[in-house]
Amino acid sequence: MTIKMWSKNQAASGFTLLEMLIAITIVASVVTVIGTSFPSAKKRKDLVETATRLDATLSEARTAAIKNAKTTSVVFDLDKRQWRSSTQEFWQIWPETIEMSLVTARELGGELVSSVIFLSDGTSSGAIIQMSSTSATTVVRRVHWLTGAIHVE
């Protein structure tokens, strides 16, 4: 049986201090890049989900107006960050990371409200609804006044 003795001339196995510092620097850089991209991805996801819910509400209101031969509306409360269709029981709230602006026919029954009205023949009061998040992403929905069609931009 042969026993080898370690000597100063043989290199020790393992990592040098320089290799460890380089590895730590690379890992820290990757974590920093990934960590900063998550908040903007969440804001983008919130914006897409809110736009999808709004599309569904507008489509549902238009369909109900035509089907029931009855005027329906989608009312927006910008101060409380919510909207509701006259066919829905509950208000839908959008996240604080999303800003919404509307251009609509504002007078309805003497009260000033922001709403989109769908008539039984499929036409509407028209609207331009703009949603944006702080990550500079913007989504626009146009409700055509003559056809009531909802255009995604």
Residue 59 belongs to a domain with what CATH number? 3.55.40.10
Number of residues assigned to the chain: 153
Residue 64 domain-assigned?
A: yes
Q: And the tokens for 61?
A: 């209101």
Q: How far apart are CA 10 and CA 37, in angstroms?
A: 46
From 2-16, 23-37, 91-105, 131-145, the region with the lowest mean pLDDT: 2-16
**In 3D, which of 79, 122, 68 has the Cα closest to residue 143?**
122
Q: Is residue 51 part of a domain?
A: yes
CB distance 102 to 114 below 8 Å: yes
How is residue 73 written in tokens? 């509306």
Closest by Cα among 86, 80, 82 to 61? 86
Taking only the tens place, the pLDDT of each residue in 63-116 is: 999 999 999 999 999 889 999 999 988 999 999 989 999 988 765 554 556 889
For the residues of 114-136, what is the DSSP string, one character each? EEEEE-TTS-B--EEEEEEETTS
Domain interval for residue 26: 17-152
Residue 83: inside a domain, yes or no? yes
Residue 12 lies in a domain: no
Strands (E), 1-153: 72-77, 82-85, 92-93, 98-104, 107-108, 111-112, 114-118, 127-133, 138-143, 150-152
Where residue 42 falls among pLDDT bands split at 50, 70, 90? confident
Q: 117 and 139 in contact (C-beta within 8 Å)?
A: no
Separation of alpha carbons 113 and 110, rounded Å: 9
Q: Flag whether 141 is in a domain.
A: yes
- The reply to whether the predicted model has a pTM over 0.75 is no
The tally of domains found in the chain comes to 1
82, part of any domain? yes
Across residues 19-36, what is the average pLDDT? 82
Residue type, 80: K
Which pLDDT score is estimated for 23? 87
**Does residue 6 sit within a domain?**
no
